[in-house]
Amino acid sequence: MDELGWDQADFIFVSGDAYVDHPSFAAAVVSRILEADGYRVGIIAQPADDASAFAVLGKPRLGFLIGAGNIDSMVSRYTSARKPRSEDAYSPGGKAGFRPDRATLRYVALARQAFKETPVIIGGVEASLRRLAHYDYWSDTVRRSILLDSKADILVYGMGENAIREIAGRLRDGEDVAAIRDVRGTCVRSHGGPRLSEGAYVRLPDYGSVSGTDPASLRAFAEHFMIQNRNADALGAGILAEKTDERWIVQNPPSFPLSGAELDRVYELPYTRKAHPMYDGAGGVPALKEVEYSLVSSRGCYGGCSFCAITFHQGRAVRGRTRESLVREARVLARTEGFKGYIHDVGGPTANFRAPACALQEKGGACADRECLHPEPCPRLRVDHREYLDTLRAIRSVPGIKKVFIRSGIRFDYLMLDETGGRDFMDELCEFHVSGQLKVAPEHVSDRVLEAMGKSGNAAYERFRGLFKETNGRLGLKQYLIPYFISSHPGSTLDDAIELALHLKRTGFVPDQAQDFYPTPGTLATAMYRTGLDPRDMKPIPVARGEREKRLQRALLQYDRPENRSLVLEALREAGRADLIGDGPGKLVSSGNAEGGRNFRVRQKKEPRPEGGSRPR
C-alpha cells in the first residue's frame, strides 16, 4: 500500500484459499474487476484465526468481501467419509490446516471484531450454495441460510461480477448497505417480514417445516429444493422468500449471464497467472498447476447432472468467449516464461458446450419444467461442434503452441447427437487434443442409476466408446478412455453396483481411485440423499446411508483388489449373487484365497506404450 501511495483500501477481499492471481481463482477475478473499475482492493489470504489478522491492511473504506475459497471449506477439509483430509490443493505446498471449518462464518465474525461497523459482503461457492436452508452432510442436519448464521450484510450468489460491481458503485455513492436490497444475484435478510408486497415473491416452505426428519418435513425439503430449481434462471425466476423464526431471507432473481464480450473482458484482465511469491518456499500452490496454462472458454452448463451444483452457481445458460479473445490469451501464454508449448485445456464446466442450447437460453433463460438432455434431448436443442472446432484450430495455429489438450470433460451424449460435425470433431479430438488418454464421465452403467443422476442411458456411452475406438484405429493411434464412476449415488443398490463391477471386468478397466457420492449443498442428488425421495416426482428412491453399504458399493468398484476381497464376497452373498463367486470368465471374484485368486491383480509395472506413457489398468 505504501508503494502504491494508498492511505486506505476501498475493499479488502478475505479468502480461504492461498492467493493466486489467475482467472480460475475467485479472489483474483473479483479483485481485478474492481481494480479495473478504479477501486483500491487489498487481499488477505488464509488469515490467522485472530481479529488482528483482519486489521493488517487497515479498515476498508467501503467494505469486506469474504469468500471461503474455490471449494466449500467443509469439502476442502473432509473426505466423503467425513475424515480430515491430509492435503489441500488450494493451500501453500498442498498442506491442510490453513482454513477453518465453515470458513465464511469464522471470517465474518473476525472481520466484525476488527471493524464492527464496516459492511460485509459474502460470496463464493460456499455462500452461494448455502444461501437458503440446506442439508449439511457433516452435521447431518438442515442448517439455516449462511446469511443468517454469519450476520453478513449481503450475500452474493452465482458468478457475482455484475452484482459486486453494482454493490460497489452504490456504496461508493454513499448509499447505506442496509438499503441495498434489490440487486440481482444477491440475498438479503430482514426481521418480521420480507419487506415485499403480497404477490411480489414466491414463498418457500419455512425453515421449521424443512428441518425435521419426519415424512412431512422430508417432503417439504424436497419441495423447497424444487421451488429453488424452478427459479434458478435469470429470465424466468421470481423473488424467493424464506422464513426462519421471525427472520427472513429474500433471494433476488439471478444475475443475467455475462455476454461473450463481457467474458472476454473478465479473462483478459492483467493477471500475472502466478501464485504470490510468498508461497515459493512452500513449493507454490498445487491447484495452480492444473490450470496455469489453461483457457476458460465458457460458463454455465445445461447438462443437468443431479450431483452437480453448477446449475445453482453458474446457471444453465451457456455463454462462450469469442474466438478472438481465446487466441489473444493463447498468444499471451506462448510468451509466458516457463511455458513449454502445451495448453492443458480449452473448456469450462463442459468443454463442448460453447453456446446457448436454444433461443430461450440466448436471452438468459431456461425451461423451468424440463432439462435439455434428459430424459431425452429437447427438440429445440442446438447440436453443433463446428464453432468449437474452428476455435481449437485457431488456437493450435498460434506460434509457440505445440499441443492443445481438452481435459475439462466432453459431454459424449451431446457429441453423439451431432450428425453434421460430430465425426469431424471426433477425428480432430483424437488426432490433436488427446495424448494417450481421454477422461470421460459416464458415472455409472445402470440405467436406473443414470436416470437418478439425470444422465443419458448407458447405450450412449457404449456408442461413444465404439466411435472412439474406431476413430483411433483409423488414425493409427493407441489411445484409451479413462471413465469416471461414482459409487453409492442415490438410486444405486448393491445390484446396480454389481452391474457396474461386471461392466468393469468385461471392459478390462478398474479405476485406481474410487469416488463415493458426496452430498454437498445445492444439488438434486443431495436432496435425494436427505429425503429418500426423488424431488422431480416425489417417489421413493433407494439411498445408501450407512458406512457399511457404502463400503460394499465402493469395494465392488475395485472388485479385483485383494484388500477388497471380503467386502466383495459379502456384497455378492447379500445380493443373492453367489453365482458370481468362483473361477472362470463369468465370475467376479475367485473362490480361492486372496493371494491365489486369479481375479485379483498383482501390482506390477505399467505396460509401456510405443508412443510413450503408460497404458491404464
234 or 617, higher pLDDT: 234
State the SS3 of 504-519: HHHHCCCCCCCEECCC
Is a pLDDT exceeding 80 seen at residue 147?
yes
Residue 584 has what pLDDT?
84
Which cell goes with 143? Answer: 442448517
Is a pLDDT exceeding 50 seen at residue 602?
no
| DSSP assigned state of 577 | -
- Going by C-alpha positions, the residue among 377, 335, 339, 386 that lies closest to residue 358 is 377
CA distance 431 to 308: 30
CA distance 287 to 177: 35
CA distance 360 to 352: 19
Q: What is the mean pLDDT of residues 37-55?
A: 98
| DSSP assigned state of 89 | T
Per CATH, which fold does 446-617 belong to?
Transcription Regulator spoIIAA (3.30.750)
Residue 305 has what pLDDT?
96
Sequence letter at residue 153 = D
- Going by C-alpha positions, the residue among 359, 366, 364, 352 that lies closest to residue 382 is 359
CA distance 27 to 18: 9
pLDDT tens-digit series, residues 67-87: 999 999 999 999 999 999 999
Where, residue-wise, is CATH 3.30.750.210 in the chain? 293-435
CA distance 263 to 298: 8
State the SS3 of 174-205: CCCHHHCCCCCCEEEEEECCCCCCCCCCEECC
Q: From 3.30.750.210, 3.90.220.20, 3.40.50.2030, 3.10.50.30, which CATH number describes the 293-435 domain?
A: 3.30.750.210
pLDDT tens-digit series, residues 287-325: 999 899 999 999 999 999 999 999 889 999 999 999 999
Give the alpha-carbon dihedral of 496, 351, 309, 444, to 10 degrees. 0
List, in sequence order, every residue forming a beta bridge with 531; answer none if it has no partner: none
CB 316 within 8 A of CB 350: no
Give the alpha-carbon dihedral of 110, 111, 114, 117, to 10 degrees. -130
Give the SS3 label for residue 143: strand
Sequence-ordered list of residues with C-beta below 8 angstroms from that of 319, at least 6 positions apart, any chain: 257, 258, 259, 260, 263, 298, 299, 300, 356
Give the SS3 label for residue 33: helix
The CA-to-CA distance between both ends of the chain, in Å, stands at 53
What are the backbone dihedrals phi and psi of residue 34, each rounded to the nearest 5 degrees, phi first? -65, -40
Sequence-ordered list of residues with C-beta below 8 angstroms from that of 283, at least 6 positions apart, any chain: 92, 93, 94
Letter string b/e over residues 395-418, b meaning 16 or more CB atoms within 10 A of that residue's CB: bbebeebeebbbbbbbbbbbbbbb
Q: How confident is the model at residue 593 (pLDDT cuts 50, 70, 90)?
A: low
Which cell goes with 563? Answer: 484388500
**Residue whose cell numbers read 483409423:** 474
- The share of the chain scoring above pLDDT 70, in percent, equals 96
- Going by C-alpha positions, the residue among 59, 69, 51 that lies closest to residue 122 is 69
CA distance 118 to 125: 23
pTM confidence score = 0.93
Is a pLDDT exceeding 90 seen at residue 383?
yes
Give me the DSSP letters along 63-81. Answer: EEEEE--SS-HHHHHB-TT
CA distance 259 to 271: 21
Q: Parallel, antiparallel, or unpaired: how do β-strands 120-123 and 154-156 relate? A: parallel
Give the alpha-carbon dihedral of 353, 359, 363, 365, to 10 degrees. -70
pLDDT tens-digit series, residues 463-505: 999 999 999 999 999 999 999 999 999 999 999 999 999 999 9
Q: What is the mean pLDDT of residues 49-56?
A: 97
CB 299 within 8 A of CB 258: yes
CA distance 298 to 149: 33
DSSP H or E run through 319: strand 319-320
Which cell goes with 365? Answer: 433463460
**Residue whose cell numbers read 425435521:** 212
- Going by C-alpha positions, the residue among 467, 447, 320, 304 that lies closest to residue 378 is 304
E strand residue ranges, 102-239? 120-123, 134-136, 141-143, 154-156, 186-191, 202-203
Residue 616 has what pLDDT?
42
Residue 255 has what pLDDT?
96
Per CATH, which fold does 11-189 belong to?
Rossmann fold (3.40.50)
DSSP H or E run through 21: strand 20-21
Give me the DSSP letters along 344-407. Answer: -EEESSSTT--S-SSHHHHTT---SS--SSSSS--TT-----HHHHHHHHHHHTSTT--EE---
Where, residue-wise, is CATH 3.40.50 in the chain? 11-189
Q: What is the mean pLDDT of the chain?
A: 94
> Alpha carbon of 487 to those of 342, 412, 500: distances in Å?
34, 20, 9
pLDDT tens-digit series, residues 545-591: 989 999 999 999 999 999 999 999 999 999 999 999 998 888 999 87
List, in sequence order, every residue forming a beta bridge with 136; answer none if it has no partner: 141
CA quadruple 54, 58, 64, 69: dihedral sign: negative
Residue 369 has what pLDDT?
86
CA distance 215 to 219: 6
Where, residue-wise, is CATH 3.30.750.200 in the chain? 446-617
